[in-house]
């Protein structure tokens, strides 16, 4: 399997704050990656960095992003436009705000087709992909408000996949949906990677969902990926203290009447991040070194963790 996306030591921010600090990861072909973290940890910004659609006050300060071997950090806006939508698709949490209420679904998907083909061919292609998403032929002629939330999300996915991209970025696409509808979307995404030769980066705050859906999980905390590894291993035997505590917060881990073990304190704001490991103020096993330096990536088998607990740092 080849690498589709490779991110090397990316730092995103501005003079005052750093939102992403030293982010590195790869995405293989036909792989589903989940980025898990609490709100404000920088997981959505990571996605937006990949397609270079950052908010105005943020920039990529250093690091490199390779997409299919091409370094996209240096590309001009115009060249990026050829990659966005064509090679990389994206879906969002609120499909209703990304669909134009004044045009039919068919119209909007057709608009995204990049190649110059006849109108009939376009329509055929749109209907084919709609059916692939489990939507009926009629949806082509319908307006967004006539669809339910789940159907809108399916239409969004169709729109993202119309140009057969190789990478799909999904920003919490199921958070706003009902349990049963969300389950449908998740199953759909799992099937899509086989049909479309697709890789997915899935951003979510729900680690159980990440475990169910993805091959690998990246856990993010305050702009740093603290743990990377195969989903089931990360979920069942987390290495980083934050991941351990996060999984311990889930109510399904407890019986009725038990007290949930929560994480004391709050997520630090980007304006005053701790000097060392961002989790150190809430960590029970912290050492002196944790407060001074950000831990490097430590490889343990096929997993990577950023914690001084591993390796020979604790003694020094």
CA–chain centroid gap for 5, Å, is: 13
257 sits near another protein (criterion: CB under 8 A): yes
Q: Is 22 left (phi over 0), alpha (psi -120 to 50) or beta?
A: left
Site string for another protein, 149-168 (x = CB under 8 A): x-------------------
276 and 290 in contact (C-beta within 8 Å)?
Answer: yes
As a whole number of angstroms, the distance between CA 286 and CA 148 comes to 48
240 sits near another protein (criterion: CB under 8 A): no
251 sits near another protein (criterion: CB under 8 A): yes
Q: How far is the CB of 179 from another protein (least distance, A)?
A: 5
- H-helix or E-strand spanning residue 121: helix 119-132
As a whole number of angstroms, the distance between CA 301 and CA 110 comes to 46
As a whole number of angstroms, the distance between CA 82 and CA 25 comes to 23
Restricting to residues 180-199, name those near another protein by CB under 8 A: 180-183, 186
Restricting to residues 120-139, name those near another protein by CB under 8 A: none
272 sits near another protein (criterion: CB under 8 A): no
φ and ψ of 119, to 5 deg: -60, -45
261 sits near another protein (criterion: CB under 8 A): yes
Tokens (6 digits) for 117: 């083909």
One residue of 260, 285, 300, 314 binding another protein per CB under 8 A:
260
Taking CB atoms within 8 Å and a gap of at least 24, the contacts of 251-254 are 252/208
When the beta carbons of 39 and 316 are compared against another protein, the nearer one is: 39
When the beta carbons of 179 and 194 are compared against another protein, the nearer one is: 179
Q: How far is the CB of 279 from another protein (least distance, A)?
A: 12
Q: How far is the CB of 313 from another protein (least distance, A)?
A: 26
One residue of 103, 143, 212, 313 binding another protein per CB under 8 A:
212
């Amino acid at each position: 399997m080849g690498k589709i996306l490779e991110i090397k030591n990316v730092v995103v921010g501005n003079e005052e704050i750093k939102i992403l600090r030293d982010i590195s990861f790869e995405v293989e072909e036909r792989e589903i990656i989940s980025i898990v973290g609490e709100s404000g940890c920088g997981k959505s910004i990571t996605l937006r960095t990949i397609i270079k659609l950052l908010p105005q006050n943020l920039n990529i300060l250093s690091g490199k992003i390779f997409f299919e071997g091409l370094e996209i950090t240096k590309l001009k806006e115009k060249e990026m436009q050829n990659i966005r939508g064509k090679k990389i698709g994206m879906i969002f949490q609120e499909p209703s705000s990304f669909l134009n209420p004044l045009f039919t679904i068919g119209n909007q998907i057709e608009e995204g087709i990049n190649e110059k083909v006849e109108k009939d061919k376009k329509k055929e292609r749109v209907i084919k992909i709609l059916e692939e998403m489990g939507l009926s032929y009629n949806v082509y002629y319908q307006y967004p408000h006539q669809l339910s939330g789940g159907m809108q999300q399916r239409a969004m996915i169709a729109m993202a996949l119309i140009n057969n991209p190789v990478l799909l970025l999904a920003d919490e696409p199921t958070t706003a949906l009902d349990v049963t509808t969300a389950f449908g979307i998740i199953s759909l995404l799992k099937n899509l990677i086989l049909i479309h030769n697709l890789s997915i980066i899935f951003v979510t705050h729900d680690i159980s969902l990440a475990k169910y859906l993805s091959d690998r999980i990246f856990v993010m905390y305050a702009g740093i990926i603290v743990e990377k590894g195969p989903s089931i291993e990360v979920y069942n035997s987390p290495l980083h203290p934050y991941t351990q505590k996060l999984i311990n917060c889930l109510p399904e881990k407890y019986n009725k009447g038990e007290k949930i073990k929560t994480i004391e304190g709050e997520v630090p704001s980007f304006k005053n991040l701790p000097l060392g490991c961002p989790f150190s103020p809430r960590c029970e096993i912290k050492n002196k070194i944790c407060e001074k330096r950000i831990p490097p990536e430590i490889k343990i088998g096929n997993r990577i963790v950023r914690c001084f607990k591993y390796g020979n740092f604790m003694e020094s």
